Amino acid sequence: MSQLSRARNAAALLALPLLLTACSTAGGEQSAADAGPPKAGGTLRLGISSAPDCIDPQQTATNASINVARQLVDSLTDQDPKSGEIKPWLAEKWESNADSTAFTFHLRAGATFSDGTPVDAAAIKTSFDGIKALGTKAQLGYGYLAAYKSTTVVDSQTARLEFSAPSAQFLQASSTVSLGVLAPAAFKKTPEQRCQGNGLVGSGPFTFESLKQNQEIVLAKRKGYTWGSSLFKHQGEAYLDKIDYKIVPEPGVRTGSLASGQLDAITDVQPVDEPQFTSNGFTENIRPNPGVVFNLHANTTRGVLTDEKVRQAVLKGVDRTEVVNTVLTPSYKPATSILGSATPLHSDLSAQLAYDQKGAAALLDGDGWVPGADGIRTKNGQRLSAAVVFSPVFNQNRSVLELIQQQLRKIGFDLKIEQHTNAETTQIQLSGNYDFLWYNVTRADPDILRGQFSTKAGNRSRLTPGNPLDVALDAQSSTVDNAKRKPSADEAQKLIVDHAYAVPVFELTQVVAESAKAHAVDFEASSRLQLFDAWLS
């Protein structure tokens, strides 16, 4: 993972789970048209910002890992990036029971793994049982399959997955790389071996070829592939012969290598570098992440944050537009809810999240917080202060938090900033030993809120069980019908903002730059790379 650099922007981010809005390109439409129709062949040299920690799709947790692993496996379903709808992939059709505790998938005929064995119901069972057996090593799949009981092989092309609790979120989860299907042979290798590509047998459009630690990963086209997702732009084999992921942590080296022609495309373009790739034959592909936006998540049992009026004042005292305009670029959006605008069933709460310094001050005045000599308020001898714990998974995190720190001083709030490693931050979060947590979580389903806020799951706010938010989160997880899900998803978002359990700030955005030679280095619904349709001119 690249180190925090306040002179540079955007690097690797934790890839937690995943969405919707169309990709936008800068200067890309004309150059793609000029290049003519897509053609097969060639090796895409793709610069990525960090070394994947593991390339087994079922164990991946970072964007770098998922951007590799997504090309190796197919999923039961796919998700439309524009509408959020779930579409056929390995499964032609499916149905669920009334309370979303059982899902039956009818598999398409003819799909095979790269070792020649069929993608049948028995293989589906082996794969899902294998993910469950990984436990917390399946860093994203562990949550998706928390209530998973078993898979029944109804017949060779029909598998029924059963859960111990309503799991409407599973349908969207079935489209993610984390639940991508591996061949039975893969489970004869250890999880550690699969992380390094050893025995990594999938049915995807590419196969693993080689890995040089901290240098590069090479994937090769799967010959004879004819069972692509219904959302792919073409059918048959992938266009590219190979994908060569070059690991280039230093942002300046990555951008220089693209500019000089040593690379065909790069991920994690820094905000400061975006302008140089919007013309001169270069294009940018830009897509916001779905899921939980970058936010200050409050521990409601700690210090001044036990006071709801204090939390509400902080929510009003953050100027989200200034954050985007000062530290980021127009590619990034101020938060309009705790969920990103690219997330299905996102609610627009921008009015409630408007910057209101006077309103924040009035709340604190009415609550008895009096400005001190240094401008920081006090009440009964207690300073109005709290610390935020963060790790540099996004290179601009410190710069964003320092600006928020300045903004909150204007209302008399002292925000202390504590930087930790990813591992340390995880331990602090699990222990509950924090005031604010700063993070984002990516997933194209509103159920991502349940993982962070439910008292039955992450409960990062340290709420009491049986609260109204629990009720709303449980309700949205009980049906796959979006019309029925929406009211409870809306209610959950509203409760989080109204009570300021978290203070949403901005939406993370993926920015990929392409040379004139590279085309369709594109995103799937989770804002991860989907390279089946990518090609070189």
Kindly state the tokens that stand for 235.
Answer: 């059918």
Residues 6 or more apart whose Cβ sits within 8 Å of residue 170: 100, 103, 144, 145, 161, 163
User: Any bridge partners for residue 294, and if so which?
Assistant: 506
Cα–Cα distance for residue pair 88/388, rounded to 1 Å: 42
Angle at 55 between CA 295 and CA 209, to 5 degrees: 145
Lowest average pLDDT, out of 33-37, 169-173, 180-184, goes to 33-37
Checking if the pLDDT of 365 tops 70, the result is: yes
- 53 pLDDT band, cuts 50/70/90, is confident
Kindly state the tokens that stand for 20.
Answer: 């919707």
3-state secondary structure 235-251: CCCCCCCEEEEEECCCH
Predicted confidence at residue 393, as pLDDT, reads: 81
Tell me the one-letter amino acid at 254: R
Q: Which residues of 424-460 are buried (b: 16+ CB within 10 A; e: fewer)?
A: ebeebbeeeebbbbbbbbbbbbbbbbbbbbbbebbbb
Mean pLDDT of 350-354: 98
Kindly state the tokens that stand for 472.
Answer: 């709303």
Cα–Cα distance for residue pair 292/501, rounded to 1 Å: 13
Residues 6 or more apart whose Cβ sits within 8 Å of residue 157: 106, 107, 109, 120, 121
State pLDDT tens for residues 217-247: 999 999 999 999 999 999 999 999 999 999 9
Q: The tokens 């180190």 sit on which residue? A: 3
Mean pLDDT of 421-436: 92
Checking if the pLDDT of 19 tops 50, the result is: no
Tell me the one-letter amino acid at 332: Y
CB 503 within 8 A of CB 248: no
E runs forming strands in 425-500: 436-441
Within 10 angstroms of residue 478's Cβ, the number of other Cβ atoms is 18
Q: Please spell the DSSP secondary structure of 372-430, one letter per residue.
A: -TTS-EEETTEESEEEEEE--SSTTHHHHHHHHHHHHHTTT-EEEEEE--HHHHHHHHH
**What rounded mean pLDDT belongs to the chain?**
92
Within 10 angstroms of residue 281's Cβ, the number of other Cβ atoms is 11
- 3 pLDDT band, cuts 50/70/90, is very low
Cα–Cα distance for residue pair 250/306, rounded to 1 Å: 41
Coil/strand/helix, residue 75: coil
Q: At what angle do helices 482-498 and 468-476 cross, to 10 degrees?
A: 150
State pLDDT tens for residues 490-529: 999 999 999 999 999 999 999 999 999 999 999 999 999 9
State pLDDT tens for residues 388-402: 999 988 888 999 999
Percent of the chain with pLDDT over 70: 94
Within 10 angstroms of residue 84's Cβ, the number of other Cβ atoms is 22
Predicted confidence at residue 507, as pLDDT, reads: 97
- 40 pLDDT band, cuts 50/70/90, is very high
Residues 6 or more apart whose Cβ sits within 8 Å of residue 33: none
- 34 pLDDT band, cuts 50/70/90, is low
**DSSP 8-state code for residue 49:** S
Kindly state the tokens that stand for 209.
Answer: 């070829």
Cα–Cα distance for residue pair 440/425, rounded to 1 Å: 13
Within 10 angstroms of residue 225's Cβ, the number of other Cβ atoms is 21
Predicted confidence at residue 166, as pLDDT, reads: 92
Cα–Cα distance for residue pair 517/221, rounded to 1 Å: 19
User: Any bridge partners for residue 155, and if so which?
Assistant: 158
Q: The tokens 């070792």 sit on which residue? A: 115
Predicted confidence at residue 277, as pLDDT, reads: 94
Tell me the one-letter amino acid at 472: A
State pLDDT tens for residues 309-321: 999 999 999 999 9
- 23 pLDDT band, cuts 50/70/90, is very low
C-alpha dist (Å) from residue 123 to 90, 117, 445 = 12, 9, 26
Measured on CA atoms in the order 254, 525, 400, 459, is the torsion positive or negative? negative
> Which pTM does this prediction carry?
0.87
Cα–Cα distance for residue pair 221/94, rounded to 1 Å: 29
Checking if the pLDDT of 119 tops 90, the result is: yes
Coil/strand/helix, residue 118: strand
Mean pLDDT of 444-459: 94
Check residues 28 and 147 and name the one with the higher pLDDT.
147
